[in-house]
Amino acid sequence: MSEALGPRIAVVTFPGSNDDGDAALALELLGAEAVRVWHAETALPEGAAGVVLPGGFSYGDYLRCGAIARFAPVMEAVGAFAASGGPVLGICNGFQILCEAGLLPGVLRQNRQEQFICADVTITVESTSSAFASAWEIGQELVIPIKHGEGNWYGDDELVAGLETRGQVAFRYAEDVNGAVGSVAGVTNEAGNVLGLMPHPEHAVDPLLGPTGGVAVLEGLLSAAGIPVTH
Amino acid sequence: MKATVLIRPKEGILDPQGEAVGEALRTLGFAVTSARVGRLVDVDLETDDPAEAETALAAMSRDLLANPLIESFTIEIGDGA
């Protein structure tokens, strides 16, 4: 064990996850120690200070995206970790899973245009009240790719009003890309330690490969994970 | 006993799939004003008690089969065919 390692972040792999490898690589590029966790595990790795639920098509997106993954054995440990204040980041399918699991508000529906969208998009920081946001600024623009067919976030009027009031809308698309209510691209839980977003920060950390808007998001997780949590 | 759960997009909820189906039907010349696309789950239960089945199916629908934010469900007990 090297003393130089950053926070230990668990990256969960469900059957059908396909961005778990990139998530681990990106976290390591930013100085974290990424530990891969199979969905059938019932506990998170010793000393894990943060959790990433990556993108992909867990359980084939059967029934609804994320609906089956929330019953994975590891999700009980993730839920307990989140309840104890540990930072959890859900990316794309991970966001869908967190919504279905009730750890995040709302639900992701099929894109309004009924097409899978793969594009670099600009999102803006809408709130700095979460555990992830210590280095973010309101209005800060991040360019991060999206690639999803079901990224159209929905909450009813009452839910949206509550989220806006409590600063739980973390990110908004600069332009409407998929029909999401209020162009919401990412939300947090009320406590501010669970964040989900449709764009893929793990694909936007290396200038050789394009935009680097993902750095701020993942560093937000690392800074949130820097505070030891008990679980 | 057999049962069927019908899951529908709630009224007022955007249903792009239904809109596309409606448009396709109109293209074919059918006089359709709207179409909504839902999901059907046929379940075979161990119990033969309709009341017990109804209770179990309602719980299944709330817990997994439908997302109450955007979907409603109806339960039909018995072999609907």
SS3 track for A137-199? CCCCEEEEEEEECCCEEECCHHHHHHHHHHCCEEEEECCCCCCCHHHEEEEECCCCCEEEECC
B67 and A107 within 8 Å at the Cβ level: the answer is yes
**pLDDT at position A42:** 97
pLDDT single digits (tens) A15-33: 999 999 999 999 999 999 9
The values of phi and psi at residue A104, to 5°, are: -130, 150
Please report the DSSP string for B57-77 in residue order: HHHHIIIII--TTTEEEEEEE
**Closest-CA residue of chain B to A159:** B69
**pLDDT at position B12:** 87
B25: domain CATH number is 3.30.1280.10
Chain B: residues touching A (Cβ < 8 Å): 13-14, 16-17, 20, 39, 64-65, 67, 69-70
Confidence grade of residue B80 (pLDDT, cut at 50, 70, 90): low
Give chain A's mean pLDDT.
Answer: 95
**pLDDT at position A122:** 98
Question: Are B61 and B73 within 8 A, CB to CB?
Answer: yes
**pLDDT at position A230:** 47
Shortest distance, CA A52 to any CA of chain B (angstroms): 23
Asked if residue A1 has pLDDT above 60, the reply is no
Q: Which tokens belong to B21?
A: 């189906």
A156 and B14 within 8 Å at the Cβ level: the answer is no
In chain B, how many domains are there? 1
Asked if residue A231 has pLDDT above 70, the reply is no
Shortest distance, CA B39 to any CA of chain A (angstroms): 9
Confidence grade of residue A227 (pLDDT, cut at 50, 70, 90): low
A106 and B69 within 8 Å at the Cβ level: the answer is yes
Pairwise pLDDT comparison (A203 vs A230), residue with the higher score:
A203
**pLDDT at position A5:** 72
Chain B residues with CB under 8 Å of A66 CB are none
**Closest-CA residue of chain B to A62:** B65
* Partner residue opposite A114 with nearest CB, options B20, B39, B64: B20
pTM for the full predicted model: 0.92
Give Cα separations from A204 to A27, A111, A199 (angstroms). 11, 22, 9
Confidence grade of residue A222 (pLDDT, cut at 50, 70, 90): very high
Write down how long chain B is.
81
Asked if residue A81 has pLDDT above 60, the reply is yes
Chain A residues with CB under 8 Å of B39 CB are 63
* Partner residue opposite B17 with nearest CB, options A107, A110, A156: A110
**Closest-CA residue of chain A to B41:** A63
pLDDT single digits (tens) B25-68: 999 999 999 999 999 999 999 999 999 999 999 999 999 999 99
pLDDT single digits (tens) A204-217: 999 999 999 999 99
Range of weakest confidence among A112-126, A150-164, B9-23: B9-23
**Closest-CA residue of chain A to B10:** A156
Chain A residues with CB under 8 Å of B16 CB are 110-114, 179
Q: Which of B61, B70, B72, B73 to mutate to test the interface with A (most CBs of A within 10 A)?
A: B70
> Has A92 been annotated as catalytic?
yes
A114 and B17 within 8 Å at the Cβ level: the answer is yes
Given the residues A92, A99, A126, A148, the one annotated as active site: A92
> Has A202 been annotated as catalytic?
yes
Q: What domain range includes position B55?
A: 2-77
Q: Which domains does chain A have, with CATH numbers?
A: 8-225 (3.40.50.880)
**pLDDT at position B14:** 86
Question: Are A66 and A109 within 8 A, CB to CB?
Answer: no
Given the residues A33, A99, A126, A200, the one annotated as active site: A200
With CA atoms as reference, report the closest residue to A199 among A91, A127, A93: A91
Q: What is the mean pLDDT of residues B59-81?
A: 90
A111 and B14 within 8 Å at the Cβ level: the answer is no
Instruction: For residue B51, count other CB atoms closer than 10 A to its CB.
Output: 9
